Amino acid sequence: MHTSNPLAGASRAYLNPYAAGVLLGLVLLATYALTGRGLGATAGFAAVATWLTGLVSPAAVQASAVHLKYWNDGVPWLNWTLFLLFGALVGAALSAWQAGRFRLGIERGPRISDSQRLALAFLGGFIAAWGAKLAKGCTSGQALTGSSILNAGSLVFLIAVFVAGFGLAHFVRKEWL
């Protein structure tokens, strides 16, 4: 099947997934060994949300227990997970550049438009955020970090993620196939 994917082009092949998995596991292990906690990602977004809210309306921050959790005495951007995300952005950029994989574009299947894809990307991010907040973690904080220490809730989360993904896959196939 040929696609109009503008992102398919000559670039170096991805790393063997099992090798990548070992490396990712070692990053996670190093995080545990150094900090006593695992990886995370959603908390970084939450810190930015609280930071921006505080710039507009400090009263709104005081009104929400969730905002206050990330307020950090008025410097919410000095957040551990936000710095981790910044490092991840730089690390991924170096890796993409080195492998010749940087392409400006929008990734989608051939049967939807760019603007439809962008709308779905926003919607998906919004829903994923709510899910991650409710579950106290995302792929990083629950699925990887929690599962590796056999946290029961993390294993439930992991199973639920795949149940939802496989359950919905048929209905959004036009977005990807």
Partner 1 sequence: MLPLSSTIEFSQAAELGIAILLGLGFGAVLERAGFGSARKLTAVFYLYDMAVVKVMFTAVVTAMVGLYGLSVLGLMDLSELYVERTHLLAQGLGGLLFGAGFLIGGYCPGTSMAAIASGRKDGLVFAFGMLSGVWAYAEFTPQLDAWYSSTALGELTMPAITGVGMGWWALLFVAALLLAAWGLRWVEQRHGSLHPAR
| The one among 111, 113, 169, 174 contacting partner 1 by CB under 8 A | 169
Residue of 26, 11, 4, 164 lying closest to 101 (CA atoms) = 11
Measured from the CB atom, is 74 or 94 closer to partner 1? 94
93 touches partner 1 by CB under 8 A: yes
d(CA 68, CA 76): 9
Per-residue contact string for residues 117-156; x = within reach of partner 1 by CB under 8 A: xx-xxxxxxxxxxxxxxxxxxxxxxxxx-xxxxxxxxxxx
Q: Cα dihedral angle (138, 171, 121, 60), rounded to 10 degrees?
A: -60
Minimum distance from residue 138 beta carbon to partner 1 (Å): 5
Structure token digits, residue 110 = 């051939």
Minimum distance from residue 133 beta carbon to partner 1 (Å): 4
Number of residues this chain uses to bind partner 1 (CB under 8 A) = 129
Minimum distance from residue 58 beta carbon to partner 1 (Å): 14
**Which helix (H) or strand (E) element contains residue 46?**
helix 42-56
